[in-house]
Amino acid sequence: MSEQTTTPGPELVERLPLKLLGLRTGMALQTRRLVEGTTKAEAQFYGAIESKGVMVGPLGPEGQSTGLTEGDVCVVRGFTGQLEFSFLSKVLQTFEKPFAYALLAYPAQVDCRTVRKSLRTQTSWPCQLWTGEPSGIAELAAVEGQLVDISMAGAMVKASSPVGPIGGAITLTISAEIEGEPLPITVAARICHNNPAGEDQQFCIGMAFGATTQQAKLALHYLTQTPRK
């Protein structure tokens, strides 16, 4: 049974064994040495042996160094698709061959916070966004976007505009297909976050769906079971 501790605010932080997170090779992480003035470094998960160690390496095929040295104490953060997690660890060894990676002490437990109720499926369907509820968008111009991931409870869209404020009502229409036939899906949603998407002047817009029709639920179920790269 996991221990649970409360933190300020409505979030609940759980203490869980690392193996229960289901981490996959290549999953993005962030590491930061616990030294004043250091910044976080983008990294990736290579693997773990329970009670032995956790292997992390630089992000991307061109990565040459983890930025960690033997004896460092660091904090590791990541996101599984449903859970945000973090843990403190000590760097046991670093390696350059056959590839760059650091071996960290295996944590007894990690701090986790549930961010999404359901796991999202990566996808790439075109979509349109409007400010407001579906009943009031007829006279408004749509913002074109690209669906990044989706679940039965919400989605992430990349667009050229943030569309609206955090908590604002929006309408999302997804221009999907099933076996070559159009499968348009329109759902009401609320904006959870708006973040700049790197250097391409785009925004990543996270949203939670509101009430959906039975037809929309069936279509969303299809999309969550059918990744589109």
Query: What are the tens digits of pLDDT across the range 99-136?
Result: 899 999 999 999 998 876 666 778 889 999 998 777 66
Confidence of residue 7 (pLDDT cuts 50, 70, 90): very low
DSSP string, 144-183: EEEEEEE-SSEEEEEESS--S-TT-EEEEEEEEEETTEEE
First to last CA, the chain: 38
pLDDT in tens, 164-190: 888 899 999 999 888 888 888 999 999
pLDDT of residue 133: 75
The residue ranges of every structural domain in the chain are 3-114, 121-225
Average pLDDT over residues 185-214: 84
> Higher model confidence: residue 35 or residue 10?
35
The average confidence (pLDDT) of the chain is 84
pLDDT in tens, 135-166: 666 567 789 999 988 888 888 899 988 888 88
Confidence of residue 17 (pLDDT cuts 50, 70, 90): very high
pLDDT in tens, 64-99: 788 899 999 999 998 876 788 999 999 999 998 888
Average pLDDT over residues 210-228: 84
Confidence of residue 203 (pLDDT cuts 50, 70, 90): confident
**Both structure tokens of 72:** 């460092």
CATH 2.40.10.220 given to domain 121-225: yes
Q: Which CATH architecture has domain 3-114?
A: Roll (2.30)
| Whole-number Å distance between alpha carbons of 126 and 50 | 42
| Whole-number Å distance between alpha carbons of 90 and 106 | 9
The fraction of the chain above a pLDDT of 90, given in percent, is 38
| Whole-number Å distance between alpha carbons of 11 and 86 | 15
pLDDT of residue 90: 97
3-state secondary structure 32-43: EECCCCCCCEEE
